[in-house]
Amino acid sequence: MTTKYWLYGYYNDGQSIASIDIVKKYFPQTVLCDDFDQLLANLEENGQHVVFLIEPNFGLRQGVWIHQVQTLVSRSVQCVWVVNEIFTLNNPVIYNSPSKIMVWASTIPNLLIVAPGQHNFGTNHYPWVIWQNWLQDAVDVYKHPTMQNYINPLDPAESKPLLFDALLGGPRPYRTLLHDWIEEDPVLSAQTIMAYYGGKTTRPKLIYEPDMVLLDPIDHCGVVCQLQDIRARFSVIPPVSVYKQTAYSMVTETSGQHDYVFFTEKIARVIFCRRLFIALSSYGYLTRLRESGFKTFGNVINESYDLEVDDKRRWRMAFEQMQQLATMDQGWVLEQIQPIVEHNLQVLMTTDWHKKMSNDVNQILAARLNLKKS
């Protein structure tokens, strides 16, 4: 039986363009259709059908998207919902209740969600394909020759005058807690370069690289900037000037108090610069990193915080590992972690994260389509 592949998306929706191009590259058999009625007419043709769905911003504003998805999954087609931002699936403004959309999606046997994250608990823990598009987005920048030259002065094995960087970014409850815990600890306060634009602080809001030029007057981590001949989001650019001064990184991820894990450029830039990191993030964050091929630092610190379910307790346990590292010989620690950081760099830079996603999707689709045939 012939299987026909469709791509339902809108090139005139700016944020959809990148996702559409990725799907077209890694699933070249797809045919783009941006008219929903025409798509439905195509699905009346003989054979099996697979529809890739790229969610448009304007579709959300019109409030029609979920109705369209519901219409498609009610038909005898395989639907692949490609989501480039994990928070889309947990937005109560869009879906009335994030729990409702996730529970609903988990009951649909012909709906496959492709998203940059993994749920951990309860009814939200169902098979879907993890798409590390945020890692790939950073890797594409890091492969630029200018970026390679930019980080060359960094020696990951060389002792640094300070211990930690904690570049906290925007407002999050766990970031505010960490900020306050660091400032209350006289050793860490003196030995940490910190920035935070999400709360009261005497520290700088952001720390800019000397050659960086902002292309938008708004100061936040997502602003586009120019670094020599590289144009990228501020948070993608490794803060080399900070890393030259500090031995270890505290990564405060975008998601830290929800029941899903989400890797972003925040972890990518630390791995790219071959650094030991502690993660202030969600339950199972380190576990998911290891499942993705990376290694973490259980040979040096206690990483049991990763499996603490209580959010605040987990964050505090992670902070306590900062305190523990402050008592350890930096030279010995850096020596111990070198095989790990070199391994992580190789995994980050040599993995085609889009291809990995497409392989996983194709494997699931093949199984579902064969099951349907039988």
- Average confidence (pLDDT) over 186-193: 98
Q: Per residue in 74-121, pLDDT tens? A: 988 999 999 887 766 666 656 666 666 666 777 788 999 898 887 776
37 plus 140 within the same structural domain: no
Would residue 359 count as lying in a domain? no
* Residue numbers of the domain that contains 64: 3-115
- CB burial readout 263-273, b (16+ within 10 A) else e: bbbbbbbbbbb
- pLDDT interval class at 152 (50, 70, 90): very high
pLDDT for the residue numbered 63:
65
85 plus 154 within the same structural domain: no
pTM of the model: 0.91
The amino acid that residue 214 corresponds to is L
Bridge-based pairing of strands 260-261 and 230-233 is: unpaired
How many C-beta neighbours within 10 Å does residue 244 have?
Answer: 14
For the chain, the domain total comes to: 2
- pLDDT interval class at 62 (50, 70, 90): low
Would residue 256 count as lying in a domain? yes
Give the least confident one: 64-73, 123-132, 261-270, 341-350: 123-132
Cα–Cα distances (Å) from 63 to 20, 57, 66, 101, in that order, read 21, 10, 7, 14
pLDDT for the residue numbered 273:
98
184 plus 300 within the same structural domain: yes
pLDDT for the residue numbered 306:
96
Would residue 121 count as lying in a domain? no
The amino acid that residue 66 corresponds to is I
97 plus 184 within the same structural domain: no
> CA 316, CA 15: separation in Å to the nearest integer?
37
